Amino acid sequence: MRTQVAIIGAGPAGLLLSHLLHLKGIESVVLESRSREEIEATIRAGVLEQGTMDILTEAGVGERMKKEGALHHGIELSFGGRRHRIDLTELTGKAITVYAQHEVIKDLVAARLAAQGSILFGVSGVQPQGIDTENPLVSFMHAGEKHTLQADFVAGCDGFHGVSRPAVPESVRQDYQRIYPFGWFGILVESAPSSDELIYAQHERGFALVSTRSPTVQRLYFQCDPKDSVDNWSDDRIWNELHTRLENSDGWRVKEGRIFQKGIIGMRSFVSTPMQHGRLFLAGDAAHIVPPTGAKGMNLAVGDVKLLSQAIEAFYRKSSGEQLAAYTENALKRVWRAEYFSWWMTSMLHTFADASPFQQQLQRTELENVVNSRALSTALAENYVGAF
Ligand code: RFL
Ligand code: PHB
């Protein structure tokens, strides 16, 4: 088998890269270890920046997102028993859209297959080879047989636990990492949204987040011990915890409903540099992770593949490797901005078990400053919508 770009991973990064390349007349093959059903059912992100929407729309995969996604012009910060609105649109002229990542995945898979794009699901033993040469290849198993995919480039879009990043030799790689001492307990709930806008709540018992998925499904999260087990959390215990953390003086309460999914995720900040080696280019979670508090992960993945698709196009159209050479440097500017913002939101909103009373007072003061100062509200809003 031979193609121009071998793409490992059919997450948002891999599928969108394949589609953007196709629109520029460049061939690719996507290798995915899971099944189509699995990738289309995995519950992850929900918040799309305006820039992400624009890229998906330009790529011709934005139709359902425009119809079914919910445009949000603000978010709320809850602390000290009160909610405070950050008017994203007034402060930045932009908005965000809540549309589930697995719906984006469904739209991208449908678009790739409609264009006769090649996605191989259920592959195993994927291994990039010869990335230091001009003839790299990826070996893998599919339907019980060993295959080799030769390509001009290999795109590692296989997420944090994939095989691509380890293919960059340790001698040239530098990893930056912070693991947080807490996780998020996430639930899906059958009920109408409790709030028109997302609510990020700081409480002494820990952070909580009210988000939505659709007019009939809510997505709720609360800070927990990352080593805790979902079995320790009965529905009653979950609702008690959410009511306590989201309590506020105007009598608003989160709406209860049937909980039909529970899960715990760990939280980390992580950046690996360089995001390329020879003919291998990393994009999305394969190269960097942010804690979900800033809602940036999928948006970063989309930003990376936009840059990478443009650089690959320049290589074929203009025989210029300049943009490819600058890929890491260009991608990392935005990545580090999002790393900073996600770390900052996480630090401001979560409860740290080892925080001294002095640090707790500073945290509360920071929240008050953010909601009371137009300059600080604007800084939050600009980062949240991805305005710069
Ligand atoms: P993905 O989505 O992990 O896709 C990687 C794909 O590669 C496959 N794979 C392999 N295939 C072949 N061979 C191998 N050896 C392979 N190893 C792995 C995997 O099966 C998978 O299909 O990475 P990608 O494309 O870089 O996309 C990144 C995003 O998924 C991620 O950043 C976001 O989900 C993060 N995130 C959020 N991002 C946002 O922009 N807004 C949000 O509101 C938001 N909320 C979240 C989030 C992530 C969360 N979790 C579960 C970590 C909320 C949560 C709870
Ligand atoms: C979500 O709806 O899953 C979501 C929303 C905002 C975040 C993280 C996750 O910051």
Give DSSP secondary structure letters for 140-188. EEETTEEEEEE-SEEEE---TTSSSGGGS-GGG-EEEEEEEEEEEEEEE
Query: How far, in Å, is the centroid of ligand 2 from the Cα of 144?
Result: 38
Residue 156, ligand 1, Cβ within 6 A? no
Please state, for a pLDDT cut of 90, what percent of the chain lies above it.
Answer: 96
Enumerate residues 6+ apart whose C-beta is below 8 A from 147. 1, 139, 140, 141
Ligand at shortest distance from the CA of 17:
1
Q: Cα–Cα distance between 99 and 215 in angstroms, integer?
A: 11
78 closest CA partner among 70, 86, 90: 86
User: Can you tell me whether residue 100 is helix, strand or coil?
Assistant: coil
User: Can you tell me whether residue 94 is helix, strand or coil?
Assistant: coil
Please, which residues bridge with residue 52 across strands? Answer: none
pLDDT tens, position by position, 155-205: 999 999 999 999 999 999 999 999 999 999 999 999 999 999 999 999 999
pLDDT tens, position by position, 72-111: 999 999 999 999 999 999 999 999 999 999 999 999 999 9
Which pLDDT does position 355 carry in this prediction?
Answer: 96
Across the chain, mean pLDDT equals: 97
CATH number for the region 181-266+351-385 comes to: 3.30.9.10
pLDDT tens, position by position, 203-216: 999 999 999 988 99
Residue of 98, 102, 221, 298 best suited for mutating to test ligand 2, as the one with most atoms within 8 Å of CB: 221
Residue 201, ligand 1, Cβ within 6 A? no
Residue 304, ligand 1, Cβ within 6 A? no
Enumerate residues 6+ apart whose C-beta is below 8 A from 375. none
| Helix or strand (DSSP H, E) at 65 | helix 63-68
Burial class (CB within 10 angstroms; exposed 0-12, middle 13-18, buried 19+) of 231 = exposed
| Ligand 2 atom closest to residue 212's alpha carbon, by position in its atom list | 2
Which pLDDT does position 388 carry in this prediction?
Answer: 73
> For residue 87, which phi and psi values (nearest 5 degrees)?
-85, 95
Catalytic residue numbers? 72, 200, 292, 296, 384
CATH of 5-72+97-176+268-345, picked from 1.20.1050.10, 1.10.150.120, 3.40.640.10, 3.50.50.60, is 3.50.50.60
User: Can you tell me whether residue 41 is helix, strand or coil?
Assistant: coil
In the block, tokens 């305005």 appear at 387
User: Can you tell me whether residue 206 is helix, strand or coil?
Assistant: coil
Query: How far, in Å, is the centroid of ligand 2 from the Cα of 89?
Result: 19
CB within 6 Å of ligand 2 — which residues?
45-47, 198, 211, 219, 292-293, 295
Which segments in the chain show pLDDT lower than 70?
Answer: none
Please, which residues bridge with residue 120 across strands? Answer: 31
Residue of 285, 288, 293 best suited for mutating to test ligand 1, as the one with most atoms within 8 Å of CB: 285
Residue 183, ligand 1, Cβ within 6 A? no
CB atoms within 10 A of CB 194: 20
Residue of 298, 309, 341, 345 best suited for mutating to test ligand 1, as the one with most atoms within 8 Å of CB: 298
CATH 3.30.9.10 range(s) for the chain read 181-266+351-385
Q: Are 176 and 154 in contact (CB under 8 A)?
A: no
Q: Are 7 and 31 in contact (CB under 8 A)?
A: yes
Burial class (CB within 10 angstroms; exposed 0-12, middle 13-18, buried 19+) of 191 = middle
Residue 303, ligand 1, Cβ within 6 A? no
CATH 3.50.50.60 range(s) for the chain read 5-72+97-176+268-345
Query: How far, in Å, is the centroid of ligand 2 from the Cα of 221?
Result: 8
Residue 203, ligand 1, Cβ within 6 A? no
Which pLDDT does position 36 carry in this prediction?
Answer: 98
Residue 155, ligand 1, Cβ within 6 A? no
Residue 20, ligand 1, Cβ within 6 A? no
Query: How far, in Å, is the centroid of ligand 1 from the Cα of 285?
Result: 6
19 closest CA partner among 147, 114, 97, 96: 114
Which pLDDT does position 44 carry in this prediction?
Answer: 87
